[in-house]
Chain A
Amino acid sequence: RTHFVRCFSVKQTSFRRPALVEDELELSAVRHRPEGLEQLEAQTRFSRKELQILYRGFKNECPSGVVNEETFKDIYAQFFPQGDASTYAHFLFNAFDTDHNGSVSFEDFVMGLSILLRGTVQEKLIWAFNLYDINKDGYITKEEMLDIMKAIYDMMGKCTYPVLKEETPRQHVEVFFQKMDKNKDGVVTIDEFIDCCQNDENIMRSMHLFENVL
């Protein structure tokens, strides 16, 4: 079922109503129009036709032109019916919402996708690092990684084989840190991360997995 998105936007309302605060939040009928096709074409690596297809899908789900976190979570959760995708979707939302204004506009969406689908391996790795680094301080700590890992395992849901145990995410984090944290200082920096990934065949190969998605 599609959702009819109730979008509250804090950014770029094309008209303001002189109303009460609550009214403004409720009624600010958002009309966010993306930049022109040519500009987007220049900024991203998508062709015109691909941008058209993307925008049509985007606008269909979000008629107002922006996605807020709740809708984002809803949409993402539809792909993982067995588990709970909301935490991971939250992290994803933060990764896409580059200007941190609480909503993802079409430009943010397309920029993100451009990196993920058409970017160089380096760019993709930087994006992934950005995703893992929850507080954006340049370091991935074990706690951050544990959060991410739990979020990923949450998406699996309950009915898995073998049965998910409590310590599985933690163990997975340990493995990850053993792999990535070269100087064993308890955090993974971006250089360590990129370095290590580039040396790993599996990861390199998987980076190319979704290239023909559009």
Chain B
Amino acid sequence: MAAGVAAWLPFARAAAIGWMPVANLPMPVAPTEKNKRQDELIVLNVSGRRFQTWRNTLDRYPDTLLGSSEKEFFYNEDTKEYFFDRDPDVFRSVLNFYRTGKLHYPRYECISSYDEELAFFGIVPEIIGDCCYEEYKDRKRENAERLMDDQEDNKDAKLPNMTFRETMWRAFENPHTSTMALVFYYVTGFFIAVSVITNVVETVPCGSAPNMKEVPCGERYTVAFFCMDTACVMIFTVEYLMRLFAAPNRYRFMRSVMSIIDVVAILPYYIGLVMTDNEDVSGAFVTLRVFRVFRIFKFSRHSQGLRILGYTLKSCASELGFLLFSLTMAIIIFATVMFYAEKGSTSSKFTSIPASFWYTIVTMTTLGYGDMVPKTIAGKIFGSICSLSGVLVIALPVPVIVSNFSRIYHQNQRADKRRAQKVQKARLARIRLSKTGSSSAFLHSKRNGLFNEALELTQLPYKMNLSDQGSTEDEKRLSKSTSLIESQHHHLLHCLEKTTNHEFVDEQYYQQSYLEAGLQNYPSRSPSLSSQDGVTGSCCTRRSKKQHHTPLPNATAPAHMQPLKHTHTHPQGLQELSTIHIQPLSTSRSSLNMRVDEPAPLNCQSSQITTAIISIPTPPVTTPEGDAHLPAAPTLQNVVKVSAL
């Protein structure tokens, strides 16, 4: 429950008087405020700076250090104040959280010191208010990155027990680790360069033999070039296989971009080996040689900048896609226009719309080769419009790409966004959890709390009987269970349950009972019986005892069992449910049964126990657990006095 709203609890409870005339069942007893303290000021001395606040303010959040009894560890008897040897500036935010219910993150504060203080005072950072949450998250992310970078730098130190495979992988990924790695790095780089140069030089026309026409060097010195090519491919193949062997996750490695480039680089050679010198396929074979140029991309392992460029383009994909789309639209429009404009002119190069595409592209990019020019006046007008608009359209994506590049250079965006999204989900989940925590807290405390309430009740009459030890034990248990505000809130919810004659349950029970009720097909009962049915319907299957049964004045003998007896009837169909429900309560119930064994002059003194003797048309079907403690004949209780009727 929220902080300041706790102050309105008295109001909410007072308003519950509105339910009273409507309710058919008696209300549960209100939790008494044992030794109610007057609200007092407490002094918190944080490294010399004194803060003062009401005790109730701090009690709003009982699961933090200041709200719980944990602060007693810091109590200074001599000065009668709580002393904390912590940062007073950050403590301001902490204390304001108690006062206003909102946690703020001051900008000037260091993120790690703030986190430490929050951890010390037991406050979860997720509840930082929306006004400050973005800032907090950004700073935290930056800090985490910085830590990660530091860690990576430290990773160079060789770990003692690395397998050969792991060493190799590290050597491949980070060539500065050892000299071997460095040598390998340079050797592969050299061979990539050699391979690329070879490919280029192959096509240069060498000097011709006197009687032959000019041939490219590749055809002249076939053997030499072939040997060079073979050597390079050997090196690349060995490198690829070594990387494949060393990779920690081979499947992932094989899917990565770099490995695909490696494969594409060496594959043409092998295909060429396999294929014979056939006329038909030689054309295809030549095409394959084109792929050898991909060896250049192997340089990206050696160059960080190349990698970033590739990454930028990948991340700008949507903007580039949009650019492409708008360009396509413009090209089609202008090409169509030009085609129809130039249709009339003779010997026009604009033979079809696709043919006009070439003109449009060349014009829009302001290249202007001049191989296709419009001749009609209309064509010239539209042509000029085309080139002007081309300037605009081309100019659009450049700033986007530039800004993207700089953005990526400064932070790794993508991974963090994904991480942040996950955390955002977790944060929302946690906030939701704390909000629903109040409702589940009620359900939870119903199981435990009624036990305590029963204890509370039995305490008063039993005061003379129980030993002092026993009663203080119980008191301790009581005070430990729920805070006063919580118990009052639960009492309020309890009253509502009584008014409406239904119980709060959590989701899963609701689903269960809903399904089972659907299966059963209840006949709807007439209104006159509703109260009775309501009574029987309120079989408190999930809860232990209702303290609302007083024994009959006369039937004292079995009646002493009554007050704490769990008598409930089941409407026939729902009997099965009780089996499911009761299990969690077995402990509390059995212990309650134990308590019942004490002889009780309870009957006469129970002024606090409200009267309602519930009519039991059928003998009480106690739980299938077998409530063997029931010696009393159930028939004695058939006093039909159903609440107010």
Contact = CB atoms under 8 A, between A and B. Distances in A.
Interchain residue pairs A-B with the least CB separation, the first 9: A57-B7, A2-B101, A116-B14, A159-B510, A2-B4, A81-B439, A160-B502, A174-B527, A206-B20
B53 to A, nearest CB: 12
Contacts of A172: 22, 24, 500-501, 530
Interface in B2-21: 2-5, 7-21
Nearest to A149: B22
A97 to B, nearest CB: 13
B52 interface: no
Interface stretch (A8-16, A27-35, A36-44, A125-133): A125-133
Interface stretch (B134-142, B303-311, B489-497): B489-497
B12 A76 contact: yes
Contacts of B488: 213
B18 A92 contact: yes
Nearest to A162: B537
Contacts of A201: 611, 644
A78 to B, nearest CB: 5
A205 B609 CA distance: 11
Contacts of B78: none
A207 B514 CA distance: 35
Interface in A21-67: 49, 53-54, 56-58, 60-61
Given A152-B22, A156-B502, A179-B644, 17 more contacts: A49-B38, A75-B5, A79-B493, A125-B21, A127-B17, A128-B18, A132-B21, A153-B500, A160-B502, A161-B513, A162-B502, A162-B537, A172-B24, A172-B530, A174-B527, A210-B14, A210-B16
B527 A175 contact: yes
B4 A197 contact: no
B20 A128 contact: yes
Given A156-B496, A202-B643, A2 B21 contact: no
A78 B531 CA distance: 30
Contacts of B10: 54, 113, 117, 213-214
A23 B366 CA distance: 55
Contacts of A112: 14
B23 A160 contact: no
Contacts of B527: 171, 174-175
**Secondary structure class of chain B's binding surface, majority of residues:** helix
A141 B505 CA distance: 32
A77 to B, nearest CB: 10
A153 B19 CA distance: 11
A167 interface: yes
Contact of A124 (B17, B492, B517): B17
Interface string B95-108: 00000111000000
Contacts of B537: 162
Contacts of B8: 57, 61, 75-76
B524 interface: yes
A60 B1 contact: no
B17 A116 contact: yes
Nearest to B436: A81
A182 B100 CA distance: 51
A160 B644 CA distance: 24
Contacts of B323: none
Which of A53, A149, A159, A167 gathers most chain B CB within 10 Å? A159
6 contacts: A2-B102, A57-B4, A160-B504, A180-B21, A202-B27, A206-B27
Contacts of A75: 5, 8
B40 interface: no
Contacts of A91: 18
A78 B2 contact: yes
A168 B500 CA distance: 9
A212 interface: yes
A178 B542 CA distance: 31
B193 interface: no
A161 B24 contact: no
Contacts of B497: 156
A207 B20 contact: yes
Nearest to B22: A176
A157 interface: yes
A82 interface: yes
